[in-house]
């Protein structure tokens, strides 16, 4: 049995068995081995036939996200690179059915923009974009079903990516570890 002094303020040393120590070290090593698979990196190409978004689709995603959360006194979605978050979620986390809905929804938004305003979504004005999104949100007549299904998906991803960004989590609403700091050596008084 190993005897490890836990804290200088504690009156009693913490005891730990060799088996527990080895188990904890192995768990830590396993977590460290899995950590590289959690890194969000852009994928250049997929030769296995998996889902990929084109450069034009990524630009469209960035403009849609910026329309949902525009730059004001705080950075907008493009400033915080929310499109990269959406890209990773769409390519790595969605099932094939959702990926298909996602790509059809992107194409349908562009087609609706061209039908309404004569230009793709990227080239229309912010006022036209807001009008288009208002019509989609209210399910106005003439809005394709693909767009109506797609809009909550892209909106949710935009909000999730924005709120999980480093800027929001450090500057606007700092994230605190829950349940908070642990104090292992606290005297308990009888009630």
pLDDT digits 0-9 by tens, 110-160: 999 999 999 999 999 999 999 999 999 998 888 998 999 999 999 999 999
Q: What distance in Å separates the CA atoms of residue 173 and residue 168, rounded to the nearest whole number?
A: 6
Kindly state whether residue 186 falls inside one of the protein's structural domains. no
Statement to judge: residues 75 and 14 lie in one domain? no
When pLDDT is cut at 50, 70 and 90, the band that residue 28 belongs to is confident
Q: Which residues span the domain enclosing 23?
A: 2-29
Report whether 110 contacts 60 (CB < 8 A).
Answer: yes
In a domain, 85, yes or no: yes
* Within a domain: 148: yes
Residue 163: Cβ-neighbour burial (10 angstroms; 0-12, 13-18, 19+): middle
Residues 71 and 136 in one domain: yes
Looking at the structure, do residues 86 and 163 belong to the same domain, yes or no?
yes
**pLDDT attached to residue 2:** 52
The total of structural domains in the chain comes to 2
Q: Cα–Cα distance between 90 and 94 in angstroms, integer? A: 5
| pLDDT-based confidence at residue 13 (cuts at 50, 70, 90) | low
**Residue 38 forms part of a structural domain:** no
């Amino acid at each position: 049995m190993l005897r490890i002094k836990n804290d200088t303020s504690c009156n009693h040393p913490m005891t730990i068995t060799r088996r527990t120590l080895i188990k904890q070290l192995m768990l830590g090593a396993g977590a460290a081995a899995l950590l590289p698979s959690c890194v969000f990196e852009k994928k250049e190409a997929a030769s296995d036939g998996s889902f990929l978004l084109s450069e034009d689709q990524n630009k469209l995603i960035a403009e849609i996200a910026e329309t949902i959360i525009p730059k004001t006194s705080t950075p907008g979605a493009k400033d915080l690179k929310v499109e990269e978050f959406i890209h990773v979620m769409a390519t790595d986390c969605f099932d094939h059915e959702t990926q298909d809905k996602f790509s059809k929804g992107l194409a349908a938004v562009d087609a609706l923009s061209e039908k309404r305003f004569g230009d793709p979504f990227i080239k229309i004005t912010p006022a036209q974009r807001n009008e288009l999104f208002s019509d989609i949100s209210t399910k106005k007549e003439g809005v394709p079903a693909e767009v109506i299904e797609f809009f909550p998906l892209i909106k949710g991803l935009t909000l999730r990516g924005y709120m999980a960004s480093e800027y929001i989590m450090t500057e606007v609403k700092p994230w605190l570890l829950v349940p908070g700091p642990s104090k292992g050596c606290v005297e308990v008084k009888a009630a």
